Amino acid sequence: MNENINNSQDLENKEAKDIEIENSEDTCDSINNEQNEQVEEKKTDKSSGRRKERKLKEEISLLQQQNDELKDKYLRIVAEYENFRKRTAKEKLEIRETAKASLMLDFIQVVDDMDRAMQHLDNVKDIESTVEGVKLIHQKFLDFLKAQGIEEIAAQDLEFDLDFHEAVTRFPVEDEEKKGKVVDVVQKGYKLNDRVIRYSKVVVGE
């Protein structure tokens, strides 16, 4: 009977060991499977990381190319603008010099008349004709100024106007109507195309 009991115990022990071995094998298989899955995941992560890295490098390369193109365009635009600025400045200078030459040529014609008048001053016999000649030269000069857009600023006997007149002094007047008005012009003023280029220097009544 004892032998049967021992045999039964041995059988139970054996079955328990078999179960333990099976459980151990299942555990190992599970661990191996997990490890394999982790390895596969790492491989997948590495592959995905390489793809992302390659994509980023391509984007960086594209952006660098675009940056180089924009930089090249910017430098060309700057160079073109600098050339345009220099060319425009040169053209403006040439236009100004041409206008000045034309202006001086017209002015020289007035000077010619004055020279002819000066040559005859020593041999003047007819005062009236000489005076008339000087008046003609003066009128010709005024016409020249008008042709250039220059006109005299009216001041005598007009209300004092800061936009056109510069008071050099004030003079007491008895006539109430002359108070605040220009009673004398010390130096004429002029406008060029309605812009004051020299104020009239005047004496104002008070």
Q: What is the CATH number of the domain that holds 202?
A: 2.30.22.10
32 φψ region: left (φ > 0), alpha (ψ -120 to 50), beta (else):
alpha
Residue 65, in any domain of the structure: no
Please list the residues that pair with 166 across neighbouring strands: 201
Q: What is the pLDDT of residue 70?
A: 93
Domain membership flag for residue 55: no
Domain total of the chain: 1
Q: Is residue 158 part of a domain?
A: yes
Structure confidence at residue 30 (pLDDT): 62
Is residue 206 domain-resident?
Answer: yes
Q: What confidence score (pLDDT) does residue 67 get?
A: 92
Q: What is the pLDDT of residue 119?
A: 79
**Domain boundaries, position 201:** 151-206
Per the domain annotation, does 14 fall within a domain? no
With 0-12 CB in 10 A as exposed, 13-18 as middle and 19+ as buried, what is 175? exposed
pLDDT of residue 145: 86
- How far is 137 from 158, CA to CA, in rounded Å? 28
Task: Report pLDDT for 2.
Answer: 46
pLDDT of residue 11: 55
Report how far residue 91's alpha carbon sits from residue 146's, in angstroms, rounded to the nearest whole number. 27
Residue 204 lies in a domain: yes
The contacts of residue 117 (CB under 8 Å, 6+ apart) are 130, 133, 134, 137
Report if residue 193 sits inside a domain: yes
pLDDT values of the chain reduced to their tens digit, one per residue, 206 residues? 544 455 555 555 565 565 555 555 556 556 666 666 666 666 666 677 788 888 888 999 999 999 999 999 999 999 999 999 999 999 988 888 887 787 788 788 888 888 887 877 777 777 787 888 888 888 888 888 888 888 999 999 999 999 999 999 999 998 888 999 999 999 999 998 889 999 999 999 99
In a domain, 196, yes or no: yes
